[in-house]
A and B are shown apart, each in its own frame.
With several copies, the nearest count.
Chain A
Amino acid sequence: MELVLNEDQELIAKTALDFVAEHSPVSRFRALRDADDRLGYSQALYREMAELGWTGIAFAEEEGGAGMGLAELALVVEALGRKLAPEPFLGGIAMGGTALSLGASPALRSAWLPGVIDGSKVVALAHQEAGARYDLCAVKTRAEAAGDGFRLTGEKTGVLDAVGADAVIVPARTAGQPGDRAGLTLFLVETDRPGVSLERQVRVDHRNAAILRLDGVACGAAAVLGQPGEGADLLEAVIDRATVVLCAEMLGGMSEAFDLTVDYLKTREQFGVPIGSFQALQHRAARVYMEVELARSAVMAAARAVDAAGAGPLDADVRKLVSLAKARCSDAYVLATNEGVQLFGGVGMTDEYDIGFYMKRARAAELTFGDAAFHRDRWAMLGRY
């Protein structure tokens, strides 16, 4: 595992940074937020990104993807995270797309994956129910056998990028009790099916998210991803990969927040000198710098380790690296933005400045797929202690 970008990766990173800086400055996110835009992102820009190959970057060439991996997708998402670009890479690509790629039958795959890869379709994944915290198996939504298929009933919350999505992959219980590992099955549910309703949620980070309500939604057996009753393994495999992508976004966000802060320290004057000349602030900035550097190493390592595992299950060492990346990114992003707002002072507290966006994003990301304490516990468990 080499923790350095090769020439192709350097090019991807540079292209992504340049494109995002030009087409998606933070002011675009701000405008979408201020307009209460239902989608919260631009379908046109998303298709442009797809044309650049970003949406398909991590999918196999035989599916129409670029045949690269999370290491490369991470570079694109890091650039998006820098400017808070809201296009549905997390929900639509890292979650829904990965679920299709790892679990879909040939029929489902050929029906959906090309659209996901060319950016014409969005498939979300509903991993969260109310009160479940970070337990992927705390699923109450039921899938009851009905004729050849199933009827799904239940409610999901915080379904990322579900507003405007064409389908949502839904973990539902074909057996067992909430919390059980066994008995979970993943279904692909088209959002225009009878009994499906989506309600936009307004989150602190203004990310596209929805409540998904399923009221006896009919699903054929052909809508099942992976093996019935064994969905927990698939779901976990997907969320582990999505976690790495989220970490890449966090890395971009914390890097930008830190850069904004350092720039402010250099330019803002108080008592006749730049505030960046105060040693106490210098040392704090240096501490943030180190944490961001460590987070970057962890994200790079996790992406490469997952890529090395291919489509197979992830072993404990790889999963530990995923937890490492998420724990370090959670702590570093929160630190970088807490320090950022503090060092900006009063204006950092105003909605007018961008630094607050990153603080909100940091917290929302921390509380998605498990916070640092959750991942420390997971690390210890995987290390058998």
Chain B
Amino acid sequence: MSDLEAFRRETRAWLEANAPKSLAGIPSNDIEGVWGGKKWVFDHPDKKLWLERMAEKGWTAPTWPVEYGGGGLSSAEAKILAQEMKALRLPAPLIGFGLTMIGPTLLRFGNEAQKQEHLPKICRGEIRWCQGYSEPGSGSDLASLQTKAVRDGDHFVINGTKVWTSYADEADWIFALVRNDASGKKQEGITFILIDMDDPGVSVSPILLISGKSPFCETHFKDVRVPVTNVVHEIGAGWTVAKALLGHERTMIADTFGVASTKARARGARGFLPELAASRTGEQDGRLADAVLRDQVAAFEMESRAFALTVQRTKDAARAGHQPGSESSMFKIYGTELNQRRYELMVRILGPDALGWEGPGFDETDLETTRDWLRSRGNTIEGGTSEVQLNIIAKHVLGLPA
């Protein structure tokens, strides 16, 4: 215990001495965060400084082993580090799929050479990764993927297209699922492989959404030659790797929506939606003038609160040592639907002010609301559709027959 207290004191002192004051309060979200990689351009020199100093201590990946560029911290120590950073309102020095996805995957499934090659670069923010799973034809049936990997000596020759590869246009490497064998069950014959985006034959085209620009891309492989040594785990055992990673991803998404709905309560004295409704549709005797809207806002707030309490209950249960069940499916469904309802409500509150796409006559935040509403429609599709999640609950939680 006194060791941890000592660690806390040292950490705080180090952070106070090394963290640029200018970064306090800057979030480490998709927009403001540092993704790193060869093409990365820092929008502030202090962000670069902060990354370098943290990477040097291994604290971009606090719990990873020191030999791969991590901090070698215990989870208790990592928690203290996070707490102290939060106390100083410091952003994470680095974000991205390297740290959250391929890194943990390599730690679990990669061989020594792969770990030594890739993990330090991830920790230092030198290489940015993207994910190549879905394909135009695969959808919810991910295992039906068709991108072909044909063995040619020490290489696989890869042909096919991946969709929904977020930020592929800014990434240096991609981890991808490819089909090395189409003869057996569809889950067999899938290989998890690492591909350098600079390789000849790799090309990227951005995907335009109904809400406008997006980080999503299509990534095309045309006779791309990838060394067999880039296969993670066994050839043909990619589905095992993918499943572990997908489970991880869904928990993250569910967490995001769980947390988002909790945070939504914080804005404004009366909460965000009541304030918006009051400002756009008026008040009477200190209450929202439109009683029907008031009822809908209250219903939304209440279900959000009950949902947040359910997320909390699951966490409390996990802390108390209960085995987690399939809650992540429920969180994914409910959290995404709440987010959609939130935007539907906002759009209805805005009324004709929500009709804009761009340009004159519309308020900037209203335009953003309209785009966000459209974007929210994808929440119940991406990361496992609501239909797939409902199937999971029916089968794995309720035990209903197939």
Is there direct touching of A and B in the complex, by C-beta distance under 8 Å?
Answer: yes
Query: Taking beta carbons and an 8 Å cutoff, which residues of A are in contact with B?
Result: 2-4, 128, 130, 132-134, 157-158, 199-206, 209, 211, 262, 265-266, 268, 270-271, 273-274, 276-283, 285-287, 289-290, 293-298, 300-301, 323-324, 327-328, 338, 341-342, 345-352, 356, 359-360, 363-364, 367-368, 371, 373, 376-377, 379-381, 383-385
Supposing A201-B361, A276-B400, A383-B274 touch, asked if A367 and B351 sit within 8 A by C-beta, the answer is yes
Contact between chains at A338 and B377 (CB < 8 Å): yes
Q: A341's closest neighbor in chain B, by CB?
A: B377
Instruction: Sort A-B residue pairs by CB-CB distance and give the 3 closest, nearest first.
Output: A356-B210, A282-B394, A3-B313
B269 proximity list for chain A (CB < 8 A): 384
Is A373 in contact with B400, judged by CB distance below 8 angstroms?
no
Contact of A282 among B139, B361, B390 (CB under 8 A): B390
Which of B144, B210, B390, B397 is packed against the most chain A CB atoms within 10 Å? Answer: B210
The contact of B394 among A204, A270, A285, A300, by CB within 8 Å, is A285
B residues 331-373 touching A (CB-CB < 8 Å): 333-334, 347-348, 351-362, 370, 373
Residue of A nearest to B311 (CB): A297
When the two chains form their complex, are residues B355 and A203 in contact, meaning their CB atoms are under 8 A apart?
A: yes
CB <8 Å contact, B357 and A380 = no
Q: Which single member of B164, B278, B297, B322 contacts A346 (CB below 8 Å)?
A: B164
Q: Given known contacts A270-B141, A282-B394, is B309 in contact with A385 (CB within 8 Å)? A: no
Partner of B306, one of A277, A297, A376: A297
For the complex, is B378 an interface residue (Cβ under 8 Å from A)?
yes
> Taking the nearest CB of chain B, how far is it from the CB of A217, in angstroms?
19
Q: Is the CB of B302 within 8 A of A262?
A: no
Complex Cα gap A144–B260 (Å): 52
The contact sample of 18 A-B pairs, CB cut-off 8 A, is A2-B320, A134-B351, A201-B361, A276-B400, A286-B390, A289-B397, A298-B306, A298-B309, A328-B303, A342-B380, A347-B136, A350-B207, A356-B374, A364-B355, A384-B269, A385-B270, A385-B271, A385-B288
Q: Is the CB of B398 within 8 A of A262?
A: yes
In this complex, the member of A262, A270, A371 whose beta carbon has the largest number of chain B beta carbons within 10 angstroms is A270
B21 at the interface (CB under 8 A from A): no
CB <8 Å contact, B209 and A342: no
Q: Given A295-B306, A376-B298, A383-B271, is A360 in contact with B394 using a C-beta cutoff of 8 Å?
A: no
Contact B361 A266 (CB under 8 A): no
Query: Closest B-chain residue to A298, C-beta based?
Result: B306
Neighbouring A residues of B237 by C-beta, 8 Å: none
B83 at the interface (CB under 8 A from A): no
Check if A3 sits within 8 Å of B390, measured CB to CB. Answer: no
B313 to chain A: closest CB distance in Å? 4
CB interface residues, B 378-399, toward A, < 8 Å: 378, 380-382, 385-387, 390-391, 393-395, 397-399
Within the assembled complex, what's the spacing in Å between the Cα atoms of A66 and B282? Answer: 46
Are B310's CB and A293's CB within 8 A?
A: yes
Residues of A within 8 Å of B13, CB to CB, are: none
Interface string of B108-142 (1 = CB under 8 A from A): 00000000000000000000000000101001110
Q: Which residues of B contact A300 (CB under 8 A)?
A: 309, 313
Q: Name the CB-closest residue of A to B370.
A: A204
User: Inside 8 A of B360's CB, which chain A residues have their CB?
Assistant: 199, 201, 211
> A293 to B355, Cβ gap below 8 A?
no
| Contact present for B270 and A328 (CB under 8 Å) | no
Q: Which residue of A lies closest to B288 (CB)?
A: A385
Contact of B381 with A376 in the complex, beta carbons under 8 Å: no
Interface footprint category on B = 35 or more
Q: Is B197 an interface residue (CB 8 A)?
A: no
Q: B350 — nearest CB in chain A belongs to which residue? A: A367
Q: Which of B207, B313, B400 contacts A285 (CB 8 A)?
A: B400
Would A351 and B208 be within 8 Å (CB), given that A338-B377, A385-B274 are in contact? Answer: yes
Number of A-B pairs whose CB atoms are under 8 Å?
Answer: 240
Interface pair B330/A290, CB less than 8 Å apart: yes
Contact yes or no, B398 A346, CB < 8 A = no
Given known contacts A134-B351, A297-B313, A385-B277, A346 and B134 CB-to-CB distance under 8 angstroms: yes
Other-chain contact of A293, B330, B353, B382 (Cβ < 8 Å): B330
Contacts of A130 in B (CB 8 A): 353, 361
Say yes or no: is B229 at the interface (Cβ < 8 Å to chain A).
Answer: no
Pairwise interchain contact A2-B141, C-beta atoms closer than 8 A: no
Cβ A351 vs Cβ B381 within 8 A: no
Contacting pair A133 B352 (CB below 8 A): yes
Contact across chains for B401 and A277 when beta carbons are under 8 A apart? yes
CA distance A166 to B52 in the complex (A): 64
Which of B270, B277, B348, B378 is A373 in contact with, Cβ under 8 Å?
Answer: B348
> Are A201 and B356 interface neighbours, CB within 8 A?
yes
Which residues of chain B have C-beta atoms less than 8 A from A385's C-beta?
Answer: 270-271, 274, 277-278, 287-288, 294, 297
CB-defined contacts of B303 to chain A, threshold 8 Å: 294, 328
Most chain B beta-carbon neighbours within 10 Å: one of A203, A281, A324: A203
Q: Are B361 and A359 in contact (CB under 8 A)?
A: no
The answer to whether B202 has its CB under 8 Å from any CB of chain A is no
Closest partner residue, chain B, to A155 (CB atom) = B361
User: In the complex, what residue of chain A is closest to B322 when comparing beta carbons?
Assistant: A4
User: Contact at B140–A376, with CB atoms within 8 Å?
Assistant: no
Q: CB within 8 A of B361: which of A157, A281, A351?
A: A157
Which residues of chain A are within 8 angstroms of B374 by Cβ–Cβ distance? 204, 356, 359-360
B286 touches A350 (CB 8 A): no
Beta-carbon contact of B141 and A4 below 8 Å = no
Cβ of B287: which chain A residues have Cβ within 8 Å of it? Answer: 380-381, 385
Closest A residue to B318 by beta carbon equals: A4
Within the complex, which residue of B302, B316, B319, B377 is in contact with A327, where a contact is CB–CB below 8 Å? B302
Interchain CB contact under 8 A, A289 and B320: no
> How far, in Å, is A161 (CB) from chain B's closest CB?
15
Whole-angstrom distance between the alpha carbons of A3 and B314 in the complex? 8
A116 to B288, alpha carbons, bound, how many Å?
44
Task: Render B281-300 as a binary contact track against A, CB cut-off 8 A, 1 for contact.
Answer: 10000111000111101110
Which of the listed residues B163, B357, B386 has the most CB atoms from chain A within 10 Å of its own CB? B357
Interface status of B305 (Cβ within 8 A of chain A): yes
A134 — which chain B residues lie within 8 A by C-beta?
351-352
Q: Are B358 and A202 in contact (CB under 8 A)?
A: yes
- Measured between beta carbons, the chain B residues less than 8 angstroms from A280 are 387, 390
Neighbouring A residues of B353 by C-beta, 8 Å? 130
Q: Which residues of A contact B298 (CB under 8 A)?
A: 376-377, 379-380, 383
